[in-house]
Structure 1
Amino acid sequence: MPNTTMIDSPSFYANPDRNVAVLNYNAHFITSIFDLVNSEELIAFVRLFLNQQRDKVPVDADPVTTFNLATPETYMDVVKAILTDQVTAYQPFKTAEILASVEDLYTYYRTYLRISLMTAHENNVVASEFMSIDQNFNDLVIRLYRAIEEKLKGHANHVYREVNAGTNGTLLLREVAWPLPTGYEALKDIHFISRMMLQPPMMLHTKSNKRKGLFTATQTNPLENFKGTERDWLCYPAKIGESLAYIYFHRDYLASGIALANLFQMADTEEISGQQPDLILLFGTPGVVSDDHPENGHYYYDQTNGFYVGQIPYNDQTTYFGYMKKMCLTLHNLHMIAEQKLPIHGSMVRITFANGQTKTVVFFGDSGAGKSESIEALQAVADDQIANIETIFDDMGSFTLEDDHLYAQGTETGAFVRLDDLSSEVAFNNMDRGIYMNPEQKNARVIIPANTWPRVVAHHEIDMWVYANNYDDAIGVHRFEDQATAKATFVAGKRCALGTTDEVGMSTTFFANPFGPVQEQAATQPIIDAVFDRLFADDVYVGEIFTHLGSDKSQANLNASAHKLLQELLKL
C-alpha cells in the first residue's frame, strides 16, 4: 500500500510534517520532460498532494468528474494527454478544474524546502558542474508547468517569472575519512557537505520560532543512542571561531542545516580529511531518558578523545534555528573555557571615523539587551562623523590573554538577527543573500553573511567594552570607575527579558551568557578575574550603555545614549 503521508524512496524524500523534500540525483537524475511525467517520484508526490486535497473537496462532490478525487494514476494520465494534445482523453474533467488543480500542485510543491543532493566520488566533472546539473532539473520543472498551463489556457503567457521551480538549492557531498574513535563507528558512512548552492532570498517556515531552557551536561555519550544512517543524515563541517565542528543533522532539519552556511565558515575537504574535530553535534537524535529535561539539548565531554559531543532531540520545538546555533556556540564556548579563553555574549564592531581614527567596541549582554540596536542607533546619529562600521562578530566571541595583551576574536561569519532589529536599509540591502525564518511571525529572523572568516578570527585589540543595560531609566553611557563594580555588573548579567526566549521580565544570567559560562561557572570565574585585571591595568573604557529596550523602548532615548557613546569614543 503506497504511503500517502510521506515519501521515502532512494531518489526522493518528502515529509509534509516538516515541509522538507530531498532529491537524490545519485539514485535517479531526470533528464527530460518525458522522464519527469513518467517518473515514480512525480506520481508519488501527486499521491501526497491528492491526499492533502481530499479534505478540501465538498462531501457532495461527484467522484467521477472531480479532478482532485482522481487516482494518482488517472491524474498523471490526464497530464500526459494534455501534453500530447489529446483533448478528448481527459474528459469528463473540466479544463478550468484541471488548471486550478495543477496550479495548486505546483504551489504545494514550492511550499517545501526542496534540496537536491549529489555525491562527488572524486568525480571532477560532477564537482565543477553540480550547480548546472541542478539548474537543468529546475528548467525541466518550470517547462513542464508552463507547457501544461499554456495548453489548458489555450495561449502563451504574457509574463514569465523565473522562480526556483525545482529546488531551493543543491548540496555536493563527499565521503570524508577522519580518525573515528572507538564508539563513533555509526558516523563512518555519513556524507559531508563540501559545496552548497542556495537560491536566496529563502523564506523558510518551522514549527517553532523561540528557544526554551538551557543546555545541560549528560553523563552518557549521545553516540550510544544514535541510530542515523547515510540515507537520512548529513554533516556540515564548520569552523566556529578556530574550533573545528562536525555538525551532523537529520534531513528533516535541512532548514537549519543549510542556514549554517550563512553563519559559520564551511571547512574545506582538505582541512577535515584525517582530522579529528574539537566539537561534534548530533541534531535530531533521541536523548537519554534519564537526563533532566530530555526534550532539550545536552552535551558530553569525551575525556578520552578530548572533544565535546552535543545532542539535540528530534521534536517540534527544536525546529527553531536558535537550537542549532546556540548548541554550536555552547560547545565552542566550553572548548574556549577549557583553553582558558573567555566567551563573550555580545557584538563587536570596528568603527572608522571620518578623521581616519579607528576604535573597536564590544557590546555585551544577553538576548534582547540591545546590542544590535545600539549599533543601529550609533549609525543613525553619526551623520558624517563615521565613515564605516565593520561587524567583527554579531553574537558571540572570546577574549584571549596572550603575552600581557588582551585580544578579541569572533565565532560567526554571519548574523542571526530579529527582523525588527534591522533598519529597512540593512534588511533590503541583504535580501538577495538572506535566509528568512518565519518572516510573518513574532521573533522573525534572518541569517545573513557579515564578514570573512580570517577577519573574524584575527586578534583584535579592544578600545571599549560596554554592558547593554536595558532596565535602568538613565540616558547615555556610564564608565565604571572601579573594577569591582564593573565586574559585578557584567557577572550578574541582569536584563529585562523581551520574550525572544521563554523568559519574560527581569532576570539574571551568570556573565550574561547561558551558553558555556553558566554551565562552567567555577572554571569561568578565574578567567573573568584575569580579563578584568588586564582591562583596568590597560585603562580600557569599561562601562554600560542605557538602551531602554526593557521599559519604554524609546528610539529617541536609545539614540541619545548612542550619541553620548559617540562622544566618548571621539575622546579616546
Structure 2
Amino acid sequence: MTEPAAIDLPAFYANPDRNVAVLNYNARFITSIFDLVNSDELAAFINLFLAEQRAYVPDDADPATTFNRVDAPTYVATLKAILTNQPDAFDQYPAAEILASIEDLYSYYRSYLRVATMSTQHNDVVSAEFMTIDQHFNELVIRLYRTIEEKLQGHANHVYRQTSAASSACVLLQKIAWPMPQGYESLGNIRFLTRLMLRPPMMLHTKSNKRKGRFTASKVNPLTNFTGTDKDWYCYPAMIGESLAYLYFDRDYLASGLALANLFQLADRQEIEGHKPDLILLFGSPSAQGDTDPENGHYYYDAANQLYVGQVPYNDQTTYFGYMKKICLTLHNLHMIDQGKLPIHGSMVKITFANGVKKTVVFFGDSGAGKSESIEALQTVADEKIASIETIFDDMGSFTLQPGGQGIYAQGTETGAFVRLDDLSSEVAFNNMDRGIYMNPEQKNARVIIPANTWPRVVAHHEIDMWVYANNYDDAVGIHQFTDQEAAKATFIAGKRKALGTTDEVGMSTTFFANPFGPVQEEAATRPIIDAVFDQLFKDHVYVGEIYTHLGNDKSQAKLNESAKELLTELMTK
C-alpha cells in the first residue's frame, strides 16, 4: 500500500511513512475542544486516517452507509453534530459504527511518535511552564475523545485511563549563537533542544531493527550537501564523555533524536553559547558526492577547524537507533584518539562488596561477546557478597594515560544504556520500565534505552583494578590471567568473537581492537596508544585477562555462572 502524503501545516506535521507527528505550539495553541474540532489540523489528520482506512474497506462498500468511506468534511461534520447534540447526528450512520471509527482514529493517532515543540528566547521564562502548557493540550484532546465517546455509547465510562492523548513528548527549542567556522553558516538558524519532557514508557517503532556496515571517512565535508532548514531540523547538544557534540537531525528521525535524552547528557545553554563543538553530526542528510556506500554513514575531519563532522543518510535502514548511537560514539572515539586516549568498547562497573572493599572492573569485547551477561551472572552468583554494582559505562569508554607514567584512569561516554530486552534481568527491566524508551519491543533484537548514571560520575577519573576480554568462542570455563604482555595485547587487538546477529555479521569474526567505532578507522594512530596502555597496565600489575562467556557456543548459563564465580573469587581475594 502506498503511504498517503505527509501533512505539513505551520502548526502540525505528520509523516505516515515514519509514524512521526510534530505539533508546533508557537504556530497555534488550541484552547478548547470546539477550536480543536474546527481546526484545519484535525481535518487534515482525519483525511490522512481515512485514506489509510480505505485500504481495508471493501471497494464495493456503500459510502452512504459505511462511515469509514466518507470524506473528511462529512466526518468532521458528524463529530460536530454529536458534540452539539444534534437530533439527526446518528440518522445516517449507526452510533456503534461511528464509535468504532473514532476508536480507530484515536488509536491511529497514538500510534505516531507525537512531539510537541515550543520556541523561546529565554529558558527561564518558559521552561517552567512548557510542561504545563503541554499537559493542558493533552487534557483537551482526551476530553474531546471522551465527550464524543460517551455521547455515542450513551453513558459515562466506568474506567478512565490517563493515556498520553496528544503528545508523547514536549521539547523547548532555542536559537543559540556559537562561533561557526566559514562554511557552517547553514546551521545558524537551526534550534537547539534545551529542555525535554518525555512520557515514558515510550514504545517507538522504526522500519529497521538492525545496524549493518561501518562508518567510513569522507573526502568531502558533509556540510557541502546539507540543505536542512529550521523548519525540518533540530539539534540535540550533547556531552559525549567530555566531548561537546552538536547532533543535528531531520524531524523524521525524532525517534532517534529524543532517545538521545536517555543516553547522552543534554548540554546547558552556557556550554553551547560561544563554544565551538568538538563534534558535529548531520543525521538524515545526503552523502557527499563520491562517498563509497552512500547508504551508510561517513565522517570528515575538518583539520582547519579541528572538527569531526559526521553524516548519516536518510533511508529506511538508518531509522534504527543503533545508527544514531554508533555514529556519535565513532566521532567521539576519533576525537579521543586525536587526544592520545584509547577508546574502549566495553562495560565498566564499580563493585562494592559487603565487607566494604571496592573494585573497578572493565569488560571488553565487540557486540554480543557477553559483557553485560557477565555482569548479570556476577550478580546472580554473588548472593550477599556484593552490596552494589554501579555502572560507569555500558558500551564505550576511554583510557587515559596520566602524565609522567603515573598510571591510567578510565572515563565513560554515556549516561544511559542501549540494551537488548533479552539481556535485562526482570528486576532491572521492571525497575526501569517507567523511565525507558523501547524500540520495536515486539521484534527480535528489541531494545530499550534507560538512564544509568549521572554525567559527573561517568566522566570522573576512575582507576582500574581489572580488565577482562569477553571471550564467547572458546569452550573453556572460568577466567584466565595473562602473564605475557604480548599475548594479552594480541588477544585484545584481534577482537575475535562469534557474532550473535545483533548486527549484519554472522559466525566467527575479527575486528581490530574489538572496536569498529574509531580504532578500525584509525588503526595506525591507535596502535601506539594501545602499546603505551599495555605497558602501563603491566607495570602497575593490573589484572589483565579474559572471561569465558560461552555465548557463541552453547549459551550455557551454568557455564557462564561458573566463570562468574571464578571472577568473584579473584576479585575478593586481592
TM over 0.5: yes
Deviation string, structure 1 residues 237-278 (Cα, Å, up to 9, x no partner):
000000000000000000000000000000001110010000
Give the CA RMSD over aligned residues: 0.9
Partner of 1:467: 469
The correspondence of residues 458-537 of structure 1 with structure 2, limited to 5 A, is 458-537=460-539
Aligned-partner residue type, residue 215 of structure 2: F
**Cα distance in 2, alignment partners of residues 45 and 125 from structure 1:** 32
SS in 2 for 1:400: strand
Partner of 1:268: 268
**Cα distance in 2, alignment partners of residues 59 and 21 from structure 1:** 29
Partner of 1:367: 367
**Cα distance in 2, alignment partners of residues 125 and 568 from structure 1:** 55
Partner of 1:154: 154
**Long gaps (5+) in structure 1:** none
SS in 1 for 2:93: coil
Indicate conservation of the 8 Å contact 1:350/1:360, yes or no: yes
SS in 2 for 1:236: strand
The correspondence of residues 91-170 of structure 1 with structure 2, limited to 5 A, is 91-122=91-122, 124-170=124-170
**Cα distance in 2, alignment partners of residues 327 and 343 from structure 1:** 14
The correspondence of residues 201-350 of structure 1 with structure 2, limited to 5 A, is 201-350=201-350
SS in 2 for 1:326: helix
Partner of 2:29: 29
**Cα distance in 2, alignment partners of residues 109 and 354 from structure 1:** 51
The correspondence of residues 58-73 of structure 1 with structure 2, limited to 5 A, is 58-73=58-73
User: Percent identity, aligned pairs only?
Assistant: 75
Partner of 2:549: 547
Indicate conservation of the 8 Å contact 1:175/1:191, yes or no: yes
SS in 1 for 2:129: helix
SS in 2 for 1:257: helix
**Cα distance in 2, alignment partners of residues 353 and 538 from structure 1:** 23
Partner of 1:177: 177
Indicate conservation of the 8 Å contact 1:284/1:312, yes or no: yes
Aligned-partner residue type, residue 314 of structure 2: Y
Deviation string, structure 1 residues 179-221 (Cα, Å, up to 9, x no partner):
1111111100000000000000001000001000000000000
Indicate conservation of the 8 Å contact 1:4/1:47, yes or no: no
Partner of 1:431: 433
**Cα distance in 2, alignment partners of residues 390 and 18 from structure 1:** 37
The correspondence of residues 12-91 of structure 1 with structure 2, limited to 5 A, is 12-91=12-91
Aligned-partner residue type, residue 157 of structure 2: N
Q: How far 1:507 sits from its partner (Å)?
A: 0.2
**Cα distance in 1, alignment partners of residues 287 and 349 from structure 2:** 38
Indicate conservation of the 8 Å contact 1:495/1:508, yes or no: yes
SS in 2 for 1:443: coil
SS in 2 for 1:88: coil
Deviation string, structure 1 residues 339-396 (Cα, Å, up to 9, x no partner):
0000000000000000000000000000000000000000000000000000000000
Partner of 1:354: 354
Deviation string, structure 1 residues 290-315 (Cα, Å, up to 9, x no partner):
11111000000001100100000000
**Cα distance in 1, alignment partners of residues 131 and 562 from structure 2:** 49
**Cα distance in 2, alignment partners of residues 383 and 250 from structure 1:** 48
SS in 2 for 1:277: coil
**Cα distance in 1, alignment partners of residues 450 and 59 from structure 2:** 47
Indicate conservation of the 8 Å contact 1:65/1:92, yes or no: yes
Q: How far 1:128 sits from its partner (Å)?
A: 1.3
Indicate conservation of the 8 Å contact 1:491/1:510, yes or no: yes
Deviation string, structure 1 residues 299-336 (Cα, Å, up to 9, x no partner):
00001100100000000000000000000000000000
Compared CA separation, residues 538 and 124, structure 1 to 2 (3 A): closer
Deviation string, structure 1 residues 212-241 (Cα, Å, up to 9, x no partner):
000000000000000000000000000000
SS in 2 for 1:87: coil
Deviation string, structure 1 residues 541-572 (Cα, Å, up to 9, x no partner):
00000000000001101011000000011122
Indicate conservation of the 8 Å contact 2:4/2:16, yes or no: no
Aligned-partner residue type, residue 432 of structure 1: D
Compared CA separation, residues 354 and 433, structure 1 to 2 (3 A): same
What's the TM-score, normalizing by structure 1? 0.99
Indicate conservation of the 8 Å contact 2:221/2:288, yes or no: no
**Cα distance in 2, alignment partners of residues 87 and 423 from structure 1:** 57
Q: How many residues align?
A: 570
Partner of 1:411: 413
**Cα distance in 2, alignment partners of residues 396 and 59 from structure 1:** 54
Q: How far 1:288 sits from its partner (Å)?
A: 2.2
Q: How far 1:123 sits from its partner (Å)?
A: 6.4
**Cα distance in 2, alignment partners of residues 124 and 346 from structure 1:** 39
Aligned-partner residue type, residue 168 of structure 2: N
Partner of 2:561: 559
**Cα distance in 2, alignment partners of residues 481 and 498 from structure 1:** 30
SS in 1 for 2:305: coil
Q: How far 1:4 sits from its partner (Å)?
A: 4.8
Aligned-partner residue type, residue 304 of structure 2: T
